[in-house]
Structure 1
């Protein structure tokens, strides 16, 4: 029976195991051995012309931004990447404008890894896209799952729905990962993040304000088996706007 539980795949790298201890086999966190061969790769601008510095630049006037307001925690502000990940951005911002995420919880939280939410069922098994069916991945070499990246959660290649996660790891060990370019490895060493997720998940936004809120959420007490917070972490509202400074 096909398991549609959304999860974040990990490569079994010994140096990274301590950061994902909270994900037991019951949670089906690992999805090793899969290669993402059917992704839609943006080619308008390659890694030769852009690198991760583009990802971490402050938003410019007119850029699409979102503000995720968490009850009792505060706001996280994120700039979006509609050119590189048009479907992911459209899906997320449309859901946000329609109030889809209002009142939902961050159902999976792992300190020094990520915080995940966007599932109406609240347990990682639900949620759908604005099109009522999964949509394809949008992977570009210069948008990486560094610390503070907003990514689509999935159950395998091209299975994006409504769930998302924000990477939170402060450091990254790339010594055992041979699939990264020199630029990518340097980016993770500089900014932290989750390098083993590279190429498997659509990165469609980057936190530019409010990482202290993400860090606070990442430190809440969670269930050992499911990584679900013992007290709900609730999304009050997500506001979509244009950066005007």
Structure 2
């Protein structure tokens, strides 16, 4: 059953799989959206369009520009006290706290200045070296890509 699937696997073209433990205890609405989009194949082929060394890698925009998202309604913020440490997966948004949709980012380093302002929905538990290997840039000259996003128990 889909509700038992609390691990997201991002197969990247930068060398392997990134395994993210989903955190429905922190952000049930955002985790449900990530699962829904992954199951629909939304993230397959999507690039990391903004990758800043020492900060984060951002993806989830099907246009690759940073301005796109899914056709689903934006999500209400689910801020928590969970820190934005290395490997934290969190939702990207505009200046409106309730504007997260499909874009997300993974922190390369501790990003405590983001705490309480962005919705944390998961933590990388394997494969952070593949996130580290993503081409850097805003946008990168040859952006790294999610080959397949899938769920597992």
- Give the structure-1-normalised TM-score: 0.59
Unaligned runs of 5+ in 1: 1-61, 170-192
Partners of 2:35 and 2:136 lie apart in 1 by: 29
RMSD: 1.3
**Deviating runs (4+, > 4 A) in structure 1?**
none
For residue 74 of structure 1, what is the aligned residue in structure 2? 16
Partners of 1:201 and 1:241 lie apart in 2 by: 25
Q: CA deviation at 1:111?
A: 0.6
Report how many aligned residue pairs link the two structures. Answer: 149
Q: How does 1:116-131 map to 2 (within 5 A)?
A: 116-128=58-70
Q: How does 1:1-245 map to 2 (within 5 A)?
A: 64-128=6-70, 132-141=72-81, 143-156=82-95, 157-169=97-109, 193-217=110-134, 220-222=135-137, 227-242=138-153
Higher normalized helix content (fraction of residues):
1
Higher normalized strand content (fraction of residues):
2
Larger radius of gyration: 1
Higher RCO structure, 1 or 2 (CA under 8 Å, sep 6+): 2
Unaligned runs of 5+ in 2: none
- Give the structure-2-normalised TM-score: 0.92
Partners of 2:114 and 2:149 lie apart in 1 by: 25
